[in-house]
Amino acid sequence: MMSALLPGLIGQADAAGVDEPIKPVSRHQEQDPARVELGRRLFHDVRLSVNDSTSCASCHHLDQGGADTRPFSVGFDGQRTEVNAPTVFNAGLNFRQFWDGRADSLEAQVDEVVRSPVEMGSTWAGILAKLAAEDHYRRAFEAAYVDGLTAANVQNAIASFERTLTTPDSRFDRFLEGDASALTVEEKAGYQKFKQYGCVACHQGVNIGGNMFQKFGVMEDYFKGQQRGRRADEGRFAVTGDEGDRHVFKVPSLRNVELTAPYFHDASAATLEEAVDVMFRYQLGRVASDGDKALIVRFLKTLTARPSEAPL
């Protein structure tokens, strides 16, 4: 049945062009190995939380797409977070961190999470005291940083590790690099549909998103009829206070999107198919056939790849 949807698309989808709006992820890493190893240990260390219960890995499962399979993560004392945890994979390719873009670096993101009264509830003084009590941490920081163990260096070590969690060599990246056989005919057609319907206007670049802000509900009010006053739904408005930023969010990356359900800041879409439906209605204001949407989903699944530093 799917093949009946493809006339007119097969020829133009045989190979990627040189000016494609999506670019492959680089295979090259430029992080200091000693700092990366420190960051890896800290990423999994529950002592970053005030009661030694929660680590970065508690909400960013490196064996499950780098995200949290729960709609909302649970912090150190059992409280739920307000938004769905985005994947940590390829986060270093984003121009801002968090759904509302309030952090301009991975280091700033680490700082906020550690001090969050919901997530880890810690202070840097408390964390540094814990780490300083461990000889292996003291020696590792002295070897990796001129000024040794500091809050800034803890943040940088974790961020250095996270920057290695890129996912090069997806089948779609191999297609972009000239391997026409990397995708099936249906997957190539799905990419053409992705571009033709306009999805690529927001989801482009190396991270297929993560490089701009956009209102959630461009063509129709996504929040109509929903409970009002939730800070998490205000998006950039909660950061800037500018009414034009209400319901504006960082466009998420689509890399590894098949692994990161549920979707959106509010975890409202349980499946990739549901998420595509929401995008067509609220962002594009267009009606697509079930066949076209199925092709797009097939294309999106070609964006899955193993991270450089952690197995899926």
Residue ranges covered by each domain of the chain: 2-26+168-212+251-303, 33-163
Fold topology of 2-26+168-212+251-303: Cytochrome Bc1 Complex; Chain D, domain 2 (1.10.760)
What burial class does residue 19 get, using C-beta atoms within 10 Å of its C-beta: 0-12 exposed, 13-18 middle, 19+ buried?
exposed
Q: What is the CATH number of domain 33-163?
A: 1.10.760.10
Supply the pTM of this predicted model.
0.93
- Predicted pLDDT at 196: 98
Q: Is 144 helix (H, G, I), strand (E, B) or coil?
A: helix
Residue 119 annotated to the active site: yes
CA-based angle 137:139:142, to the nearest 5?
A: 105
The catalytic position among 119, 162, 187, 309 is 119
CB 152 within 8 A of CB 107: yes
| Tens digits of residue pLDDT in 131-167 | 999 999 999 999 999 999 999 999 999 999 999 999 9
Residues 56/158, Cβ–Cβ less than 8 Å = yes
What is the torsional sign of CA 102, 108, 109, 114? negative
The token duo for 24 is: 């492959």
Task: Give how far Cα 32 sits from Cα of 48, 159, 210, 310, Å.
Answer: 22, 11, 24, 17
Contact 274, 263 (CB under 8 A): yes
Cα–Cα–Cα angle for 19, 20, 22, nearest 5°? 135
What is the Cα–Cα distance from 42 to 159, expressed in whole angstroms? 10
Alpha helices in 243-287 (DSSP H): 272-278
**Dist CA 312 CA 309 (whole Å):** 10
Helix (H) or strand (E) holding 213: strand 213-215
Going 149 to 154 to 159 to 164, the CA torsion angle's sign is positive
Do the domains 33-163 and 2-26+168-212+251-303 match in fold?
A: yes
Q: Which residues of the chain have pLDDT under 70?
A: 1-15, 17-18, 227-229, 308-312
pLDDT of residue 112: 98
How many whole angstroms separate alpha carbon 223 and alpha carbon 55?
Answer: 33
Closest CA to 38 of 174, 159, 202: 159
Separation of first and last alpha carbons in the chain: 32
> Is the CB of residue 256 less than 8 Å from the CB of residue 167?
yes
